[in-house]
Each structure stands twice: as structure tokens, then as C-alpha cells.
Structure 1
């Protein structure tokens, strides 16, 4: 390879999607990754016991399978195979029943009606809204803001009155939606989905986020890559390399070289300078790019103050277990679900998020759990289960609502809080802890050590709250991947549309770079014509 056309910093899903799109356009691309292996949060490995496979961070991928950016790469041709559990999501209840979301809408609605008459019909209405607007919303979600074409189609479809009603729906806190639409626990499915981010039941926008994930479960499912999440990364890497891209791992980029107001190269930890003829794409946390890889002397003074106000999402604490048998859930329907939400009620979810907001380690943490062998039988030996669960904790701990944890997350605190997670599952599956062969605990600092983009254990690249979405992400502006430096693009989840594995942040950055290059070539050609006429 000669001089690269582009250097991509970071080999997570956004960086690899961006690199593939540029390679498809004929660009020579080099991807630089700090860690010894690619993937970022999309990696897997052996453990926590012999014969088991665990995912380092992300595991289920409704956004990936629905993403236009990832779908266009046809990764199935490069070895990726999606698998589904029998049920998408289950939320066990204290009385031994469960709310279950299936790919089958009718089965889901019937189950919700059994829990509370009329809730099935309300759920069908939510899916009817999705059938009407879902494709347009996905088109709008995955492109740079503002999505002009999609926006015009939505306005034409809904007209003013319908648009206002949908906007109200989108801004509703999920607790208010529960009061308006449901008489039973159906809303717990939506509230749990909203807590995949950092949206409490009282947060504006928590309804639309929960609705989006739940409806994707009906339309696409929440699949897993066969063999582990790392197989999604492996397919992206294989595709890139077959299209001429180069991946360099284990040599971190320490500086974006700026000359004449333009990004022209990167400098790595080894001191090597890698030129970039056309663009540098930074699939890194925005706080690492501005004032880090790019010095403040190259940036507008206002940006420094804006970035000081950038808000991270909550920190994350994760435990992986190797079980000698599946979890003995009391409620019917939970055993077949790939994903399980664990919380007794909407009030318990509110209490959990309120404690985090006050800087307190939650006494009864909400758990997002994954039954990986249930979804993919090759994740562990026959008859066993590879299980994980994560919860959120404060970024800065000021107290503990359930004990004496300080947020140091030393060995004692890691073990104690992991026991607290296990106690939550025990409420709905008595005796399950006797099945544990081994467990692996990952505290916030360990998440960041394995992936510098997970700053303080934040897994969404910044809060999902409405004040830091769209034109406010990462700072007030246009919500686009362009930066104040010519030829430099923000390609991480710190950019619109934010967290989750959809590759849209990387795709938007790649397309912006391609567009800028075409525009420059057109301007140069026009100038040449004018000069020719002048002669």
C-alpha cells in the first residue's frame, strides 16, 4: 500500500464500518487500534470456565440487524451467522408470572392480556404505530441530522396534527405512557428497554427509546452472532481485508497531526507518523479527540467550554457466570428468553435510577441479563448455561443505598456487589447460585482498561437524554460528523445517533469524508475550466 487515503482511529464497530465503506469506494484505508485485538465492545473470548464463551461487553444486536449501514455490508457472506432465542425478552414478576416479548406479535399480546385484560390490544396499537412509522424512523435515525428527506416524508404522512401527537408520544416518560395505556405490567418491557441506556422511567424520551427496542424485537428479533460477539467483528475485519484495507493492532494513535488547519496524518505511540491523503476518522470518545489527540490550539475556544458540559452515561458493572444448568426461573416463559430484565416493579426501577442519580450504589440494582447458551447452543457445553448480567452504578460514588461500598471497586467491593446482583436473580430463581461453576466480574475501571472509549465504564458514548441527542450531540451544533478541523471526522458513538452497535456513527463519518472529497474535486474541476476559458 502507498500513502493511505484515510486513517481510521479505533477498530470497534463504528471504525470498522467506516473503513469498509471507504474501502468500497476505492480508498486505501489503514485502521489503527490500541488494543491487541479489534472489536472494542464487540469482542468475545473463553470463560469464565473451560468450554464456555463470554462476551466482553455487548451481546444482543437488534440495532445491528436493523441497521442500514451494517446490512449493506452483507456480512453473512464473510462468515457471520445470526441466531435467535425462542423468546426475545422476559421480565419475571414477584408473583411468579412474567411479561414476555416474542417475535410473534400475537403471542406477545395474548400473554399481556393474560396479565391484565386490554393490555394486549394496547400493545398491538403500539406495534401498529411502528408499522406505520418504523421504516421512516430507522431511516431518520441512522443518517446525519437533520434527516431532511425522511423528515419531509414523515411530515407528509402524518400531517401537522399527527406529527404533533407523535412528537408528544416520543417525548413521554415511560411511566406516563404506562398510566395512559396499560393496566398491568406490560410497560415494564418498555421501561426495561429504556434502561438499556440511562433513561429512568421519568425521563423525557424514555417511551420512544423503549418502544424502538421493543418493536425491533418483533420485526427483527434480538439476535446474537453464532460463536460469540467477536464473530461480528471478525466478519467486518475479513471484509475489510478482502477489500484491501489494513488493520494495525497494538499501536495506539497518540496525536492527529494538523497542518494548515487540516488533519494530514496520525502519530502512534511508537512514534511513527502515518499520513492520510484525504481524511482521518476518529472512532474515539469525543473527550479523547478534542484536547487530546487534537490540541486545543487547533480548536475554537468555545468548544472547550461546550465539552466541559458533555455528559457521560452511567458507569457499568458486569458479571459473567458459567452455570452447570440453566437458570431455574419460577415464571413460565423466562427460560426461553435470550434477554431477561430483573426488577420487581416500575417503582423499583425508579428507585434504582434515583439512587444512581444521587451518587449512591443501588440497593436493588436493575439487571439486564443474557442467557447466551439459550440463544446460541455453542456458547457452553450441552446442558449448561453461559449467563451474564450488567447494571449501572454512579460515575462518582457518594454513598451506598444497600451497604458500605465506596466505589473503589477493589476486590472486596467487586465481590460484594456481584453478590448483590446474584441476590436479585435469586428472588426469581431460588437456588440458582448453587449452579455457579465460576464467575468473572468486570467493574467500571476494568471496562475502560479494555477499551478506552468506555470512559469510566460508560457504554453508550454519552447520555441518551434528549439534551444531548440530535443537534446537541456531542455539543450544540449540527449533529454531524464533521469537526472544526478540515479532513477530520468524529466516527464514534459520541456523535449522532449515539450508542448501540449499529455502525451509523462510522458510516456517517465515512460518507461525509467521501462527499467532501467529491465536492473538492468538483470545485477543482470547475476552477480548471474557468482557467482554461481565461486563456
Structure 2
């Protein structure tokens, strides 16, 4: 049988792999995407797993970074059937004493909610959002391009000036708790920052956690936390339709097991049946860095220093997620939570600090901080009228929750936390679907040990330290092999940055820069890994 040949082979049909494939197909390349699972999408999937008529998002659910990503906006997925919906309010943080602060796309509503905790915090919130509006576009362009983002950084510097750029840089290195203290007097607005920071695997007391809290809070104020009509899987369906329209091919249930290398150059892949598939121009891997370098590329093609650095690669904390089919709306006693798509609950600021501290010490937090999603509130297409499709997740230390008894105890803690703020919640449960770390990894092998970000978001593994100290780019030590998954800069979440960076690097390698590009990257790699 003759060997199949494509311009590019993409390993993995997660959203990053599909973004990369689309951009290569836009350039006229023939592209094959190989996916281990029976469906594309990776951690962006929707299924009826709780009860008939309830469409639950298995992993990703809200998409603020998709909404602002220059990569995703440039794909114009709305032309391929994707549409968006919003909950009445973006987010609510319910404190253990049932006070509640609300983030709304209406800045006056957000400011009024902040003022309930401390008069004047509403004005401070408007000021912080005004700063975001001034730097929004150059900052977003800088975030989603390879590191260092020279041109976007220059544009950002022109917008801010040197003095304000230095103040911005300082702000983004702060712990989220400290950022809130510097800007606000009351706990409400501080929690809008700190609770959003806790979407990452960082404690609110970790240096660098402020950037996550500030970014998500400002995006929420700006464009909200939108959801695809019909489920998260509709985002993937649009990417698949777009790729098919450009001649790209996806094979599900067909994993790539090995990257074929000759003379230091990626030549293609081998599938699970042992068949070689040739890639004339590039192989792009939407898989975790330890999977690519530790399993798919023979070690003789990799520098010993890279392999040594991989031994220090740090995963983000594990995750436990539960989906519910509810017979009615969640009976929140805090009125502000009833119309919010995303709800934070189970912890005030001190509780967030305690939660992060227990995770660092490898202990399962006794009082879990929860991220809760009201999907029918956000999109009525998710469940029958009068019902609610809902979910919650929390972080746990790696290596725990691998026995059903432990997982059941954690689910009981989660439901107890919700019941405290919504008495009668348990009585509404018609169906429940539980995913601990093992179940998440079984659903998507990229979620190794229940890690959802492709590696820690801590500052020691970001920018040019991601996934290991190096260039902060998609290029690898193997010529024409590119890392396209969330282990690469700019990291996790659904924004397409790693996939787009890998596609651009592949196009540059094969284009006008050609061998010159390879020589420059090769010299840089040798310098890094010498």
C-alpha cells in the first residue's frame, strides 16, 4: 500500500489543532488531522450525559477569551453557523454570609454592586475598566502572538508611554489579592478580581495571579462570558465545517503514535495501525509537551537539556467536575446570583487564600471554592423549559480523587456548598454526571491527571519559560515539528493562540524565510539547550 502524503499532519483535533489546520488550509495546504477520540473537540464537547434533553458541556463552557482572541475573531466562525448567547449577568460571587457582588456588561450595574461593599469602589472600577479600554487591542495582540511580541509591544508602548507601561507591568506581576487591595476598599470588587484569578491554578496570594483575575474581569465587563448556542460543541462544529470547506480532512478514532524523524527533520507520523503518513512541510502536535517529547519523538532527536528540563515540567492542579440536570432554576437566596451565567461560591478572600494554601500543601480543601455554571440561564436551548442544565468544578491536588470513594466525598462537599447558598438544590437533581481527574483524562488524554491548562499557569512556566526555558515559540528542536497545544505559549483556555502560533511558524518555515528561518531557529535552539 502506498504511503499517504499531505502538506501537513496535525496531531489532535482539539480546538488548537483545528485552528492550526484551518490556518494552514487557508494558505492552500493539504491538511490531515488525526484524532484519538471518536469525536473532535478535545475538551470542548457537549453531550446529553445527565438526562434526556439536557445538553451539558463536558469541560469548557464559557468563552470570554474566545470572544476577544484576534485568532478566533479572524476565523469568522459565525459565517459557519456559530452563534452566541449571554446570561443576563456575567458573573456573581456569593460569599459564605450570602452577600453577593455582581459583574455585568452594564458597567453601572457592576459599579453599583461594588459600591454596596464600599462607597467609591464603583468609581474605582470604572477607572480600572477605562485603563483596559485604552490598551485593549495592543495588549490582546501581544498576548496571542509568539514571545517576544515585538510589534504589539511597540504599539502598546506607544499607547501607554514608558512610565505607564512600567506601572502596568508591575500590576500584572502582583498577587490578585494585593491588586484588589491597591484599588478597592471593599471586599466585593476585590472578589471580582480574586475569584477570576482562581480560574487558574494559582492561589490569590501567588505573584502573577493578578493578571488572570484582571484580564477575565475586564473581558467580562467588556464583552461578557458568552456561550455558543446549543452547546460548547457548536464551536468545534463550526471549526470542522470551516476546515471541510477548505478541503481539510479529519480522522477520528485514528491516533498518531509516533513522529517520524530523519536527519533531524519531521517527515510525518505513524498511526496506531503502524501506517506511515508523510508530511511534506510540517507536523503540528496539539498534545501536551511531555506527551510529544516523552512519548512521540525518539529521544535521540532531542537535546539532553530539554529532556532534563521536562523532568521539572509542572502540571496544573487536578479538577473535579460535576454536571446536573435540574428540574428547576437554582434557588439562590442571593438575588444577584439568579441571573448570572457563572457563579463563584464557597469562599471569601480569606477562604480563597486558605483554599490555595491547602492545594499547595497537597491537601484536599475542606471548604472547596466552586465555579458554577447556569447554562440554561445563559442559553435556553440547553434544557427543557423550566429546567436548568448546570455544572460546578473545583481544583484538587494531583494524585487525589482517583478512587470512587474519595470522589463521592468530594461531590458531597460540592453539593453541600451549593445547598448552603441555595437551600433545596439537592431536591432539584434529576441526573448527575461526575468527572474526577481519571474520568477527565479518559475523555480527553490531553487533560493529564485532570489538569485543564496544559501545565501550571505560574510565572515560572509562562512566556519564554513555557513549556520549558526556551524561546516561547511553537518551534521545537526537530525541524518542521511544531508544538500546537496549551503547553505552548500563550497557554490554556479556548483562544486558539498555540494553534495559530504553530501554524504561522510552519508557514514561515516553508515560505520565503525557508532554510534561513530554520537556521535562525536552529541556532536559537542550540543556544538554549547547549
Paired residue secondary structure (1:381): coil
Q: Is contact 1:190–1:211 with CA below 8 Å preserved after alignment?
A: yes
- Aligned position for 1:426: 419
Q: Specify which of 399, 403, 406 is matched with residue 409 of structure 1.
A: 403
Report the 3-state secondary structure (helix = DSSP H, G, I; strand = E; otherwise coil) of the residue aligned with 1:89. strand
Within the candidate set 441, 456, 459, 1:466 is matched to 459
Name which of 365, 370, 375 aligns with 1:372.
375
Gaps of 5+ in 2: 518-530
Partner of 2:484: 491
Provide the secondary structure at the position in 1 that maps to 2:431.
strand
Query: Which aligned pairs between 1:132-281 and structure 2 lie closer than 5 A?
Result: 132-184=134-186, 185-281=188-284
Matches of 2:306 and 2:185, distance apart in 1? 47
What SS is found at the alignment partner of 2:178? helix
Q: Does 1:345 align with 2:348?
A: yes
Per the alignment, in what secondary structure is the counterpart of residue 60 of structure 1?
A: coil
Task: Give the Cα separation in 1 of the matches to 2:41 and 2:96.
Answer: 38
Matched, 1:442 2:399: no
1:8 maps to 2:10: yes
Find the partner of 2:318 among 315, 318, 332: 315
Q: Secondary structure at the match of 2:270?
A: strand
* Aligned-partner SS, 2:495: coil
In structure 2, C-alpha distance between the alignment counterparts of 1:344 and 1:276, rounded to whole Å: 51
Q: 2:127 aligns with which of 115, 125, 131?
A: 125
- What SS does the aligned partner of 2:131 have? helix
- Secondary structure (helix, strand or coil) at the match of 2:337 reads coil
Q: Decide whether the 8 Å contact of 2:509 with 2:515 is kept in 1.
A: no
* Aligned partners of 1:320 and 1:441 also within 8 Å: yes
**Structure 1 range deviating more: 30-39 or 85-94:** 85-94
- Give the direction of change, closer, same or farther, for the CA distance of 1:522–1:471 in structure 2 (3 Å limit): closer
Shift of 1:521: 5.2
CA distance in 2, matches of 1:344, 1:488: 44
Change (3 A) 1:521 1:449: same
What's the counterpart of residue 361 of structure 1?
364
Contact 2:96 2:345 in 1 (8 A): no
User: Contact between 2:135 and 2:160, CA under 8 Å: does it hold in 1?
Assistant: no
SS at match of 1:140: helix
Q: C-alpha distance in 1, partners of 2:130/2:466? A: 30
Mapped contact 2:4–2:277 kept (Cα < 8 A) = no
| 1:276 partner SS | strand
* Contact kept in structure 2, 1:19 and 1:245, CA below 8 Å: yes
Aligned to 2:525: none
State the match for 1:97 in structure 2.
Answer: 99
Equivalent residues of 1:409, 1:443 under 8 A apart: no
Q: Does the 8 Å CA contact 2:180/2:194 hold for their aligned counterparts?
A: no
**Cα offset for 1:160?**
2.7
Secondary structure, counterpart of 1:360 in structure 2: coil
Residue 124 of structure 1: SS of its match in structure 2?
helix
Q: Measure the CA separation in 2 of the matches of 1:2 and 1:413.
A: 47
Using structure 2 for the length normalisation, give the TM-score. Answer: 0.95
Partner residue, 2:47: 45
Matched, 1:81 2:83: yes
State the SS of the aligned residue for 1:478.
coil
SS in 1 for 2:336: coil
Partners of 2:209 and 2:127 in 1: how far apart?
18
Decide whether the 8 Å contact of 1:82 with 1:225 is kept in 2: yes
Residues 324 and 384, structure 1, Cα contact 8 Å, conserved in 2? yes
Query: What's the counterpart of residue 530 of structure 1?
Result: none
Question: Do residues 59 (structure 1) and 52 (structure 2) align?
Answer: no
Which of the numbers 472, 475, 484 marks the counterpart of 2:468? Answer: 475
- 1:272-318 per-residue CA deviation (whole Å, 9 max, x = no partner) reads 11100000000000000002100111100100111111111000000
Q: Does 1:389 align with 2:392?
A: yes
Give, in angstroms, the shift of residue 503 of structure 1.
Answer: 0.6
Deviation at 1:520, TM superposition (A): 5.1
Q: Deviations over 1:421-443 (max 9, x none)?
A: 00111121112111111111100
Distance 1:409 1:2 in 2: 43
Unpaired runs of 5+ residues, structure 1, are 398-406, 525-535
Listed as ranges, the matches of 1:289-308 within 5 Å are 289-308=292-311
C-alpha displacement at 1:179, in angstroms?
A: 2.1
Contact 2:4 2:278 in 1 (8 A): no
TM-superposed CA distance for 1:519, in Å, is: 3.1
Q: Give the direction of change, closer, same or farther, for the CA distance of 1:345–1:521 in structure 2 (3 Å limit).
A: closer
Contact 1:319–1:440 under 8 Å retained in 2: yes
Pair 523,481 (structure 1): closer, same or farther in 2 beyond 3 Å: closer
Q: Take 1:47 and 1:496, find their aligned partners in 2: how far apart are those partners?
A: 33
Q: Distance in 1 between matches of 2:207 and 2:177?
A: 10
Could you tell me which residue of structure 2 aligns to residue 532 of structure 1? none
What is the root-mean-square deviation of aligned Cα atoms in Å? 1.4
Whole-Å separation in 1 of the counterparts to 2:448 and 2:460:
20
> Are the aligned partners of 1:44 and 1:53 in contact in 2 as well (CA < 8 Å)?
yes
Partner residue, 1:400: none
Does residue 333 (structure 1) correspond to residue 336 (structure 2)? The answer is yes
Residues in 2 aligned to 1:71 and 1:237: alpha-carbon distance in whole angstroms: 16
8 Å contact from structure 2 (residues 19, 500) kept in 1: yes
- Are 1:93 and 1:331, in contact at CA under 8 Å, matched by a contact in 2? no
Aligned residue number for residue 527 of structure 2: none
In the other structure, the counterpart of 2:450 is 457
Scaled by the length of structure 1, the TM-score of the pair is 0.94
Q: C-alpha displacement at 1:158, in angstroms? A: 2.6
